[in-house]
Amino acid sequence: MAVTLDAPRFKHKVAVIGSGNWGTTVAKLVAENTREHPDLFEEDVQMWVFEENVVIASDSPHYDPAVGDAPQKLTSVINTHHENVKYLPKIRLPSNVVANPSLLDTVKDTSILIFNLPHEFIGSVCKQIRGHILPSARGISCIKGVTVTEDKVELICDYISETLGIYCGALSGANIANEIANELWCETTIAYNTPPCDRRTEIGAAATNGGQDQQHRDSRGAVSKVQLTPLSRDYPPIDHAELRKLFDRPYFTVSMVSDVVGVSLAGALKNIVALACGFIEGHGWNMTAKTAVMRRGMLETIQFCQEFFPETIQEMTFWESAGWSDMIVSCTSARNWRCSKLAVERGVSVYEVERTELNGQKLQGISTTKEVMSFLRGRGVENKYPLFKAVEGIVDGTFKVENIPVLFRH
C-alpha cells in the first residue's frame, strides 16, 4: 500500500558514542555532513566523551597562561578549541561536534546512534542507555569484532540491537583513523539491511498500522527476537541513500551493502589471518608467501560465514573494502601483524611480545583465534579450518611456523 507521506517534522539528531582516535574522526566527518544536509540532519553532532582531565602543554596553540598547567576537562577543551587534544591531536574539528560528558544526555532524542568505542565497553554502555533512547532510533556500529563463545557467534551490532531493541548496522573497511582525520582518501563499507518497516513504501503503511513491526529478519537472517519500532514519519526515512549522505565524504568513499554478517565477521576473522602473516614474514618469507596465506585466510573466512550463516552471506561482501582491502591493510601494517612478526623474529611467544610491547593492552587476534577455535571445536569442525588452527597452534607453541606450507599440500 503506497501512502503519500507528510513532510517530516523533525530532522535526525545524530550522536557518536565514543571519542577515541576513531570515534573523534567519525564525529568530524559526520558533522561535516550534517552541515551539508540540513534538510535531513540537525547540525549539531553530540559526541559522548568519557570525561577526564587533561593538561595543555605550554607549546600548544591552545595553551592559556591564565590556566597554566592546571588540569582541564577534556570536554571543555574540545568544545572551546575544537580539537580532541588527547586522542586526535592537531586535527581541527567542525564547531558542530559537541563533546558531551553525559551519556544519557548524548543519546536523548537522538535518532541515529553511532557506536564507536572499544569492544569491552559496549556492554556497559548499552545497559546504561537502555530505556533512555528513542524507541525508533537506529544504530551503526563502528566497532569491529564479534563475540564468539563455545556456543555461539554474536555480532556486535546484533548485541546492540537486542539489548536496545533497535536496528543496528555496521561500518567497517580498510580505514586508518589518523589518515582519514587528515583527509587522505580511502573507502569504507557500511552494511545496513534496512528493516522492512523502514522502507520508503512501508513507512506510511506501518505508521498507519500504528504498531510495531511484527517480525524482522535481522542481520543473521533468523527471525529476530527484537520487536522493532518503525521509524516515525516525523523523521526522514533512513536507508542506504541517507546513510551515505551521513558518512560519505570526498576523502571517504562509502559503499553500501546489506550483508551485516559478512562485514562483521570479515572484520573480526582477519585478525587471525594478520597473526598468520606476521608469523610468515617473521620467519623470512616474503610478500608472495604472505599473499598465499591471506588468500587461504580469506577462503576460511568465507567458509566460516557460509557454514554458520548460510541464509544471509553474500560472497560479493568479501570484495568490499571491509573484505579484501581491510585484510590487506591488516596483514601489512596493523598491530596483530606487527606483534606476531616480532615474536618469530625474537624467537619468543606472541604473549611475550604482547606483555613487553603493548603497555598492558591485549592483542585482539589472540582472543579471536582462541574463541573461534573453541567454537569450531565445539562443533567438531576445527580440521576444516587448517590455517586458523595452525595460528592457534603457533600461539600456543604446538605448531611450527615453518610447517605452514605443509597445510597447503595436496
Q: Which residues are catalytic?
A: 270
- Any known ligand binding at 336? yes
Rounded Cα gap, residues 155 and 82, in angstroms: 34
Of 197 and 322, CB closest to a copy of itself: 322
Contacts of 74 (CB under 8 A, 6+ apart): 19, 49, 51, 52, 53, 54, 84, 85, 86, 99
DSSP tag of 223 = B
Nearest to 332 by CA among 320, 340, 344, 343: 340
Rounded Cα gap, residues 31 and 23, in angstroms: 12
Binding site for a copy of itself (CB under 8 A): 174-176, 179, 184-187, 244, 248, 250-251, 253, 284-289, 291-292, 294-295, 298-299, 315, 319-321, 324-326, 328-329, 332-333, 404-406, 408-410
CB of 128 to a copy of itself, least distance (A): 33
Q: Report strand pairing: 12-17 vs 112-115.
A: parallel
Kindly list the distances between the CA atom of residue 2 and the CA atoms of 96, 206, 207, 209, in Å, as whole numbers in the listed order. Answer: 37, 11, 12, 13
The kind and range of the H/E element at 179 are helix 177-181
Of 3 and 176, CB closest to a copy of itself: 176
CB of 225 to a copy of itself, least distance (A): 34
- Any known ligand binding at 271? no
Nearest to 310 by CA among 346, 356, 265, 352: 265
- Any known ligand binding at 364? yes
Of 48 and 285, CB closest to a copy of itself: 285
Rounded Cα gap, residues 77 and 57, in angstroms: 13
Task: Give the SS3 label for residue 282.
Answer: helix
- Any known ligand binding at 165? no
- Any known ligand binding at 284? no
Q: Is the distance from CB of 56 to CB of 72 less than 8 angstroms?
A: yes
**Burial grade of 65 (CB within 10 A; 0-12, 13-18, 19 or more):** exposed
CB of 256 to a copy of itself, least distance (A): 9
- Any known ligand binding at 388? no
CB of 103 to a copy of itself, least distance (A): 31
Of 64 and 315, CB closest to a copy of itself: 315
Of 218 and 326, CB closest to a copy of itself: 326
CB of 372 to a copy of itself, least distance (A): 21
- Any known ligand binding at 292? no
Q: Residue positions in the annotated binding site?
A: 18-23, 50, 121, 144, 177, 335-336, 362, 364
Q: Residue positions in the annotated binding site for substrate?
A: 144, 335-336
Q: Residue positions in the annotated binding site for NAD(+)?
A: 18-23, 50, 121, 177, 335, 362, 364
